[in-house]
A = this chain, B = another copy of it.
Amino acid sequence: MPRPRPATIRDVAALAGVSVGTASKALNGRGSLRAETVARVRRAAGQLDFRPNQAARSLHADRTYTVGMITTDTIGRFSIPLLIGAEDILGAGQVSVLLCDARDDPIRERHHLQVLLSRRVDGIIVTGRRAGTRAPVGTGLPVPVVYAFISSTEPGDCSVVPDETGGIRLAADHLRSTGRTRLVHVTGPAHHHSARVRAEALTDLVAEPLFGEWSEAWGRRAAGLLLARGLDLDGVVCGNDQIARGMTEALREAGRDVPREVAVTGFDNWDVIAEASRPPLTSVDMDLEGLGRAAAGLLLEAVAGNPAPGVHRHPSRLIIRDSTVR
C-alpha cells in the first residue's frame, strides 16, 4: 500500500535520529560523517521509501549512481549477507549495484574491472568468500575501492574486515565467566587464514590447538581424540559451527552432558547449523550484514571525497544458546 504522502528529508532525519543537515549529507554522500551515521540515515530512507528530488540530484550530475561489486571467488555463504548489507545502504541512496563474479580467475577479474570502469561506476566494493588479505584489484584507479571481508595488502587502501580475534575472545571469555578453566580449541586447517588468526587469539588460554577441517566430521573425530586422551576438559572453543556441532554430537553420544560437563562454542552463527544442534550452539556472529553496510557507507563517503584508508575492524558479537549455559 502506498503511503498517504511521500516521505520528506525531515521524516528520514527524525527516524534516523539526526539533524536534517546530517541526513542530507548522508544521502548525498557529501561532508564528513561516520560510516554508522551514513548507514543509519540511508536505512531510514529505505524504510520510508524516500526519494531525493531530482533538482538536488542534478548537483551531482557527474555521478552515475552505480557501484560495482566484484567477488574474488564465487558468490557464497559469506558474501550474501555482505551483499544484502551493501545493497541496503546503496539501494536506499538510489545507487544501483553491478555484480561481477571473478571466480578465482585473475583474467576474469581484470575483465570485470575494465567493464566496471568503462561503465563509469562511482566506486567499487571488492569482496571474497574467505577472510584474508589479497593484492589490490588495480593501482591508480579513477574511482575509490573498498575491500569488504577481505583486506588489501596495500596499506593506503580502505578495507573493512570482521574482528575475528575479538570474536573468538568473546567465546573464550564467556566460557571462563561461566566457570570453565580447562579449555581446548578445535578448528579448521592450519593453512587457512581464519583458523590461524582465531587460534593465535587464544594462545594464552589453550596450549595446543587442534587443526583439522571446517566440517562436522572433523568435530566428531576431534571429540574422539580428546576423549581417548582422557583429557580433563570442561570447555571447547570451536573454529566454526560445523565443528562445534560434530563435537557436541560426539560428546553427547559418549555420555558427556553438554553444557553441564563440557561447554561448547561455535563460530559464524549459521542458524541452520547452530539451531539444529542438540543443544543449540552458542556462537560468534561476525555481523556480516553490518560489515556490508559499513563498507557501503565508507565507499559512499570516499565517493564524496572523504576516503578512510586503512583496515577497519567490524566488531563481532556472541549469541548465547544452550551449549554453554542452560
Contact = CB atoms under 8 A, between A and B. Distances in A.
A76 B80 contact: yes
A84 interface: yes
* Category for how many chain A residues contact B: 35 or more
Interface string A69-101: 100001110001001100100010010111111
A282 interface: no
B107 A119 contact: no
B107 A83 contact: no
Nearest to A102: B91
Interface in A28-85: 46, 49, 51, 66, 69, 74-76, 80, 83-84
B96 A119 contact: yes
Contacts of A176: none
Contacts of A276: 215-217, 242, 245-246
Contact of A273 (B215, B217, B272): B272
A75 B289 CA distance: 12
Nearest to A88: B101
Contacts of A66: 98, 119
A108 interface: yes
Contact of A101 (B51, B84, B108): B84
A91 B98 CA distance: 11
Contacts of A217: 276
Contacts of A87: 75, 99-101
Contacts of A69: 99
A111 interface: yes
Contact of A98 (B2, B84, B98, B101): B98
Interface string A272-303: 11001000000000000000000000000000
A14 interface: no
Contacts of A91: 100-101, 108, 112
A3 to B, nearest CB: 8
A242 B74 contact: no
A115 interface: yes
A307 B216 CA distance: 47
A92 to B, nearest CB: 9
15 contacts: A46-B108, A66-B119, A75-B80, A80-B80, A84-B101, A87-B100, A87-B101, A91-B112, A94-B115, A96-B115, A96-B116, A98-B98, A99-B99, A246-B276, A272-B273
Which 7 residue pairs are nearest across A and B when measured between Cβ atoms?
A216-B276, A99-B99, A97-B99, A87-B101, A49-B107, A96-B98, A75-B80
